[in-house]
Each structure stands twice: as structure tokens, then as C-alpha cells.
Amino acid sequence: MAKFKLDETDHQILDMLIENTRTPFTDIAKKLLISAGTVHVRVKKMEEAGIIIGSSLTLDYKKLGYAFIAYVGVFLKNTSQTKFVLERINEIPFVTVAHVTTGKFNVFCKIRAKNTQHAKDIIFLLDDIEGVYRTETMISLEESINDKKRLMHSIFKDM
Amino acid sequence: MAKFKLDETDHQILDMLIENTRTPFTDIAKKLLISAGTVHVRVKKMEEAGIIIGSSLTLDYKKLGYAFIAYVGVFLKNTSQTKFVLERINEIPFVTVAHVTTGKFNVFCKIRAKNTQHAKDIIFLLDDIEGVYRTETMISLEESINDKKRLMHSIFKDM
DNA sequence: GGTGAAAGCACCGAGTT
DNA sequence: AACTCGGTGCTTTCACC
């Protein structure tokens, strides 16, 4: 998990691909005044190094009828059950991320649901897991995302 | 924000593109036994409908030296300041998402940092925002992601 | 590590069923 | 709606710098 060295050109390539994975390498090449072959080689190297894990579509879950987001803090009866509970949590659909955390909760997860009714069903599944003492739900009323591009800019500035 | 109707073919196209945005349409066509032109038309329609918002790279932040994830619950002095505080939060680099929530916290955000020292700096910035009463941090010790593909399968099954 | 050219494909629109 | 087909343009490799 060592820090990998990327130069300014790599940053700019990532920058354009983060915005749109399908940006033609020829476009990137034109903008950076390098050849398309070079873009290709550099992307391949970043893939091989594992910096670029993959690419994915960004979908509008609201339009798909899944506008409900909530965070659920999970309290365990005993921390020794963490691994078991985490496995059970990962079997529940609509739980999009789960974290083992320090602080208030033992496990902390994010769920995406159709509506409150649907969210209730998911939370009940969480509550029913053996080893779960109780849960605490925080419903998201408004989401504001700091896009990846900004995060990457912050990271690049820091390197 | 109405629910949009997608058929089985659309599901399968999304499924392949979610896994790898650059999957050639010809490959998708071969697998689904339709023509590449059809794949093209359907993707375009989903883009026009706003279902597909865009595409992005998945990067290994650990390899970039950003292995630290924490969730920070923010308590406000007064909920009328929510909008102002949210704007200030969005100006802080390395805060990747912020939610206005019901429940324990007023605002809830996720941060990505290099290490504990760096995280401390970010949290201090949050604490210093005018209107913030106090914050509560939960450090992620272990992350387990339910990939998009599984979420989409759950969504498709439900439609 | 970069280039430029060339071969091989993919994309995508037009016209057809 | 989906297909075929063809022009255009993208990707990817390779010999050379």
C-alpha cells in the first residue's frame, strides 16, 4: 500500500478521466500536447500499479425510485461478534457501505432505499442480526457531494 | 424525479457498463445477442433520460497515501445555520460527502485523510466553522463496500 | 519515456424493414 | 424499435528517437 509517484501529466490524465471515463485518449493527448500513445501507456501503467482500480457509471438513483438515504449506527452486544455481524450486514441488499468504527457505534453503515417504509424493512433486518444490540438511524434530508475531482485536486496539491 | 422504466436489456447493459465503463458496445451486443447499434441507442436514451449521469474512475486512495476514513457528526448551535455551515463544510478539502440529517447529529460528513494527524487538521477546520457547537468523530477501522453491481441487482429485482 | 503512422476496431448516424 | 452498413474517428502497437 505504498504511496505511488504520479507526475503532473498523470494528474491531468486522471483529472479528465475522472470527469468522464470515456474521454477519448486523442482528446486528452491534444489537450496535454502529447501523443495518444503516451496517454495509453500511462493509463495502462496506472492500471497495472493498481492506482486505477476500474471505472463505473454514475447513475441517478432518484430517477430509479431510490431517493432515500440513511446512515445506521449499529451497537453490538459484544465486539467479538464484529466479524460475524459485518458478514451478515453485507448480505443485506441496499446496504451500500459498512464500516467498523471507533467512537459511538461499533459498526456504521449507509443504506439506500425507496422510501421510509422500505428503509424500515432494511433497518429491521439489521436489528434482527444475532449479536446486534440496537441501532440508531440518521435519515439524510439533503446530500451534498464534494466531487471526486475536487478531492483529487486536493490530493495532487499535497503530493 | 419519476421512476423511469427500464427493461431487462437495459438492466444487462447497465450491468456490464457498471463493471467497466469502457466495455465495447460490440462486446455487450454479442453477449445480449443484439446489434451494437441497439446498445448505442439504448445507452443514449438512458443518458438523455438522466438515468446515466456520467462515468468515473475508481481509484485506490490507499495507494495514493490516503488510507484514513472517518465520519464526523456535527452539532449546530442553531439549526437555522444549517445552510451556512453546509456551505462552509463544502469548502473544506477532503470532506467527501456531507448530509443534513435527522437524529443525533444536525450534519454528518465523511472525510478522507492521509493519517490521524491530517484528519485532526480537517476536523479542527470543521470545529472552527461559525455556528458549529461541537463535532463527534468516528474513525473507520475497516471498510466493506457492497458494490454497485449488487445494489443494481437488488434494484432490478424490485422493479 | 516519448513519437507518429498504420492496422484494426468501435462508434454512431442514415436508411430500411 | 431494431437491424445493417459505411464513414469517421479512436485505440493500440511498433519501429524509431
Tens digits of per-residue pLDDT, A58-89? 999 999 999 999 999 999 999 999 999 999 99
In this complex, the residue of A3, A63, A100 whose CB is nearest that of residue B142 is: A100
**pLDDT higher than threshold 60 for residue A137:** yes
Residue B2 located in a structural domain? no
A150/C5 CA-to-C1' distance in Å: 37
Domain that holds residue B97: 68-139
Whether residue B42 is found in the same domain as residue B13: yes
Tally of structural domains, chain A: 2
Residue B1 located in a structural domain? no
In chain B, residues 28 through 47 whose Cβ sits under 7 angstroms from any atom of nucleic acid strand D: 34-38, 41-42
Whether residue B51 is found in the same domain as residue B76: no
Task: Give the pLDDT confidence score for residue A25 in this predicted structure.
Answer: 98
User: pLDDT band at residue A147, thresholds of 50, 70 and 90?
Assistant: confident
Contact A79, A41 (CB under 8 A): no
B139 chain-A contacts, CB cut-off 8 A: 101-103
In the block, cell 457492497 appears at: B146
CA dihedral B9, B11, B16, B19 (to 10 degrees): 180
**Stretch A134-142: mean pLDDT:** 97
Task: Give the pLDDT confidence score for residue A126 in this predicted structure.
Answer: 98
Residue B63 located in a structural domain? no
In Å, how far are A104, A157, B145 from A50, measured between CA atoms? 34, 21, 18
Phi, psi of A85 (to 5 degrees): -65, -40
Whether residue B37 is found in the same domain as residue B81: no
Contact A140 B63 (CB under 8 A): no
pTM of the model: 0.93
Whether residue B105 is found in the same domain as residue B125: yes
Contact B56 A52 (CB under 8 A): no
Whether residue B86 is found in the same domain as residue B128: yes
Select from A94, A64, A56 the least CA-distant residue to B18.
A56
Contact A55 B53 (CB under 8 A): no
Q: Tens of pLDDT along chain B (159 residues)?
A: 556 789 999 999 999 999 999 999 999 999 999 999 999 999 999 999 999 999 999 999 999 999 999 999 999 999 999 999 999 999 998 999 999 999 999 999 999 999 999 999 999 999 999 999 999 999 999 999 888 899 999 999 887
Residue A1 located in a structural domain? no
Whether residue B75 is found in the same domain as residue B131: yes
Q: Give me the CATH number covering residue B12.
A: 1.10.10.10
Residue B146 located in a structural domain? no
Residue B29 located in a structural domain? yes
Whether residue A79 is found in the same domain as residue A108: yes
Q: Is the shortest CB-to-strand distance from B23 to strand D under 7 Å?
A: no
Whether residue A74 is found in the same domain as residue A52: no
Average pLDDT taken over every residue of chain A: 94
